Chain A
Amino acid sequence: MSDLDRAIAQLRACRPIPEPQVRELCYKARELLIEEGNVVGVDAPVTVRIHTIPALRLALMNGLQICGDIHGQFHDLMELFRVGGDVPETNYLFMGDFVDRGFYSLESFLLLLCLKVRYPDRITLIRGNHESRQITTVYGFYDECLRKYGSANVWRYCCEVFDYLALGALVMGASNTLGTSTSTSTNESGTQLTEEEEIEIEILNSAGDVMSRIPRSMAASSDNHETVNSSPLSETSRGAPARSGPVGTGATSDSLGSVGNPGGAVLCVHGGLSPLVETVDKIRLLDRKQEVPHEGPMCDLLWSDPDEIEGWGLSPRGAGFLFGADIVKLFNHRNNLSLIARAHQLVMEGFKEMFDASIVTVWSAPNYCYRCGNVAAILELTEDGSNGGYIPRANGDVNRTGDLLGPVAAGGQISGPGRRYRVFEAAPQDSRGMPAKKPVADYFL
């Protein structure tokens, strides 16, 4: 077992690793991150391309899991991995705000960083507005490091890593329909096969059960009564050819557009857009290796929020901007994007699509700050199975389940990649033992 694996095991048990080890980890992480561009290219799902070991295939059915804010909620991060699949079997993209506010920012961030160093191609970390010196001195991470290590060294090491985190990611090759959910839909036999319906959105609970499905064209679906199935055809298309060897050659990204994928790529960024950034390429030109500035394109990408306005607006946060549907649609069109995935805002339902599903907010900290009562979600994008990767089905419940679609943008023609949201609640808490009290602040001495 390597030191790194040992560190991972220790952190998974929610125990901080010693300071010298943090130092070394942060050094290695920086070496790794410095090689990444400002906008990391990610295939959906990367796993398939890299791992072709048959034994892993089942696990590899999972796509790319895109996650929002974590904010030091370590036990909920463990729940996230349980729901989304473990690393390295499943690929992850975290859209920042790992630290601050929660009790376990340190353990959460260091674990993610260890996983990044150990499995660099399986996990992508991009920067949130909280990955900053100034913000962490106010919102808790600095206090936490002092409390847990007695000095600010670890905080300083972490901040140096923050400066190297990418600003965004571009997910390519995402299918515009969904593969079946491995946990519930495979291995069912004798069910009827239908191919005329494409599922665009699927919402699963933490047990992997489908809560609702939305076909690309909701109108046609109400009369159908087909059940969930996994046909021989789908087995082949999903399991073997599409996902083994050939795909590993990079065909996934080649397939972008060439098979008439209306989707385009998915841009992932913590906050949102900037009036100073018209193209994704412009992000690539920024000098990101610095503390997050108070203004300018880099700041905006980490701080902005979509809002029901036209054009640009002042942000009540005092940093970044508000931007409306017109801005998003123009940006997506200009950059051949099908979707922008971002985090940064609490949404009670865990995710929220806006502006005809041109942008989605993903929030991954359930019962935020122990009190908000929200559920969390992660967004799964799957590989483009352009030759019939998914077996659509309409189960007759479409209209009814439509009621569950609060967070999904209403409106007829939805486009974009197939999106599977896994919704989960806060991890159970009873098993956590009470720690010893720490010496209090000077005030009480």
Chain B
Amino acid sequence: MPASRPEIKAPRPRLPLLNPSNNHTFIQPTKRINDGQDIANFLTSEAYHDIVTFLMQLNASMFPTVIPTPEGEKNHIQTWEAGTNAVVFSNTVLKLKVLLEDLEGIIAEAPPDQGPRRFGNISFRKWYQIVESRLPELLKRNLPAQVRSFHQDGQDETSPVIELESYLLGAFGSAQRLDYGTGHELSFLAFLGGIWKLNGFATTDPGVEERGIVLGVFVPYLSLVRRLIKTYSLEPAGSHGVWGLDDHSFIPYILGSAQLSPPITKLEELPSEGSLPGAPDPAAVVKALIVERERHRNLYFDAIGFIYDVKKGPFWEHSPILYDISGVPGGWAKINKGMIKMYNAEVLSKFPVVQHFPFGSLFQWQQDPHAMPPPVSAHISSQPARASPSSAQAGYASAREPVQEGTRAPWAQPTSMGRPPMAATAAPWSRHPDRTGLGTGSTHNRGIARDVDAQAQSSGDIVGTRAPWAK
């Protein structure tokens, strides 16, 4: 049966490694996304391409795998649950695990402040400061030697560690705003991707080291982050309230739905429908007992479990988007595909989320020559970022007169679900695999439009609404 599957021509791309025998110039990463219009540039940048490639690589690795057996015997299906001993952690993975444990240990040195407070606990700043001061030492101890001493240009002092440090430091929330959100999660992904590019991870068959990264590093990262959120009452960065997917996280929903998707024989051919036989029903997210049982091995249910930990109230009410998704026909693979599209539109294409992402030599602001240019569209002209004084007025006008050329407000032509109709243009995802497997970032222009128009999430924490036009 598996033998009859069609062969797929191109192997799934892995994030390319830098050649250690070439000189490489490292630079201190800096902020490049300064207003909504820069999002279009980001979506065609080298950095975007690399991030998406790496994420898709991790995603594919978590699909259960069909292990071929001799003729006549039933094929064995290997799943990649948290805690499985089928995934062997490389040295690098083990060291990064230790690094995260060290960071977690620092919580004891910065106990939450007991005094009167509004919500977020200011002792998080202390934790952050200690981390900041110890990070060089911790990275020295826990990064592989080949990463730390990656071939550098003679005259430049900047080391690869400087770049990695800035992504790691950005991965635990904002000390100033006492919040945590998907932008910080993205920063951790870049930290891991950076180590990958610097040849820091073990060289393995496709998927093998990736699984170690997910289960050995990303899972402990999530548990550290959740401990920080609980200990210091970190607010959701960019909260839509109940109308967002999750207050803090996104990637666990991608990787967790992959874990429950149908088994595959090759990483190249990810199914877009169906579920692993015996997988819990997506509708089980409302069943506390099942969530409790599954959260220890599955990232999706782990994230749901954390929602139950911190929120009180009916699930469908405080998490209506996840509730609706739990009714998606088509199984976990369908959910996985949808999550990836949604991540592209609601995280990577959102100015408020990615605006703090710094660009250096590992993740470059430079344009990806293979990226398709984003189509010129009305949204560019309707961005309030640059049109501050008149934008309120423009919004007012166009809300009354929905079909105004040029200044079309994002709500002028809403989709039935109020989500940008990014996928309506033709979903390049998986069907027309491009270089990244996620799409070129050019088909979700209206998604960007809406987000850009609504930049409030920059730190729209639940406790204090931030102005959308604030930088």
Contact = CB atoms under 8 A, between A and B. Distances in A.
A368 B462 contact: yes
A432 B314 contact: yes
B310 A371 contact: yes
Interface string B250-294: 000000000000000000000000000000000000100000000
B241 A134 contact: no
A383 B97 CA distance: 64
Contacts of B325: 440, 444
Nearest to A159: B399
Contact of A101 (B242, B342, B389, B450): B242
A265 B320 CA distance: 43
Interface in B224-242: 236, 239-242
Interface residues of B, number: 79
B341 A319 contact: no
Interface in B291-323: 310-314, 316-318, 320-321, 323
B107 interface: no
Given A439-B417, A442-B424, A434 B316 contact: yes
B302 to A, nearest CB: 18
B410 A317 contact: no
A143 B411 contact: no
A163 to B, nearest CB: 8
Interface stretch (B14-22, B183-191, B451-459): B451-459
Contacts of B463: 345-346, 368, 372
A290 B467 contact: no
A438 B416 CA distance: 11
Nearest to B462: A369
Secondary structure type dominating chain A contacts: loop
Given A134-B395, A139-B456, A369 B177 contact: no
Interface stretch (B30-38, B114-122, B157-165, B207-215): B114-122
B335 interface: yes
B134 interface: no
Interface string A242-281: 0000000000000000000000000000000000000000
A135 interface: yes
Interface stretch (A59-67, A85-93, A172-180, A291-299): A291-299
A346 B239 CA distance: 15
The listed residue with most B CB atoms (<10 A of its CB), out of A145, A319, A426, is A319
B324 interface: yes
Interface stretch (B148-156, B326-334, B371-379): B326-334
B116 A147 contact: no
B383 to A, nearest CB: 12
Interface stretch (A148-156, A220-228, A414-422): A148-156
B242 to A, nearest CB: 5
Most B CB contacts (10 A, CB to CB) among A318, A441, A443 go to A443
A443 B119 contact: no
A345 B235 CA distance: 14
A332 to B, nearest CB: 24
B319 to A, nearest CB: 9
B450 A137 contact: yes
A443 B117 contact: no
Nearest to B453: A137
A2 interface: no
B428 interface: no
Contacts of A374: 119
Contact of B410 (A103, A137, A139, A372): A137
Interface string A108-148: 00000000000000000000011001110111101111110
A235 B340 CA distance: 68
A151 B393 CA distance: 22
A439 B320 CA distance: 11
Interface hub of A140, A145, A369 (most chain B Cβ within 10 A): A369
Contact of B392 (A100, A103, A291): A291
B465 A143 contact: no
A319 B396 contact: no
B118 A317 contact: no
A140 B465 contact: no
B419 A442 contact: yes
Contact of A135 (B117, B239, B465): B465
B406 interface: no
A84 interface: no
A204 B424 CA distance: 55
A370 interface: yes
A128 B405 CA distance: 31
Contacts of A129: 465
Contact of A144 (B119, B243, B414, B458): B243
B465 A372 contact: no
Nearest to A151: B414
Contacts of A142: 411, 418
Given A72-B241, A134-B468, A429 B116 contact: no
Nearest to B242: A103
B118 A316 contact: no
Contacts of B403: none
Contacts of B176: 316
Interface in B383-419: 384, 388-389, 391-393, 395-396, 399-400, 410-411, 414-419
A152 B398 CA distance: 13
A406 B399 CA distance: 45
Given A101-B239, A146-B418, A133 B465 contact: no
A102 interface: yes
Contact of B118 (A319, A347, A438): A347
A375 B310 CA distance: 16
A368 B120 CA distance: 13
Contact of A426 (B243, B312, B395, B419): B312
B470 interface: yes
Interface string B333-359: 011011101100100000000000000
B311 A146 contact: no
B437 interface: no
A400 interface: no
A443 B470 contact: no
A367 interface: yes
Contact of A441 (B240, B391, B419, B456): B419
Contact of A143 (B240, B345, B457): B240
Given A147-B320, A426-B312, A440-B321, 5 more contacts: A133-B395, A303-B467, A371-B462, A429-B312, A438-B320
Interface of A: 71-72, 100-103, 129-130, 133-135, 137-140, 142-147, 150-152, 155-156, 159, 163, 290-294, 303, 305, 316-319, 345-348, 367-372, 374, 406, 426, 429, 432, 434-435, 437-445
Nearest 10 pairs between A and B by C-beta? A318-B470, A101-B241, A146-B418, A437-B327, A444-B338, A319-B467, A138-B454, A318-B467, A140-B243, A138-B456
28 contacts: A103-B320, A134-B391, A134-B395, A134-B468, A138-B455, A139-B243, A140-B242, A144-B243, A290-B393, A293-B392, A294-B388, A316-B464, A317-B465, A346-B463, A370-B313, A370-B317, A371-B247, A371-B310, A371-B462, A374-B119, A434-B314, A439-B416, A440-B417, A442-B423, A443-B338, A443-B345, A444-B325, A444-B337
Interface of B: 116-119, 176-177, 236, 239-243, 247, 286, 310-314, 316-318, 320-321, 323-328, 330, 334-335, 337-339, 341-342, 345, 384, 388-389, 391-393, 395-396, 399-400, 410-411, 414-419, 421-424, 450, 453-458, 460, 462-471
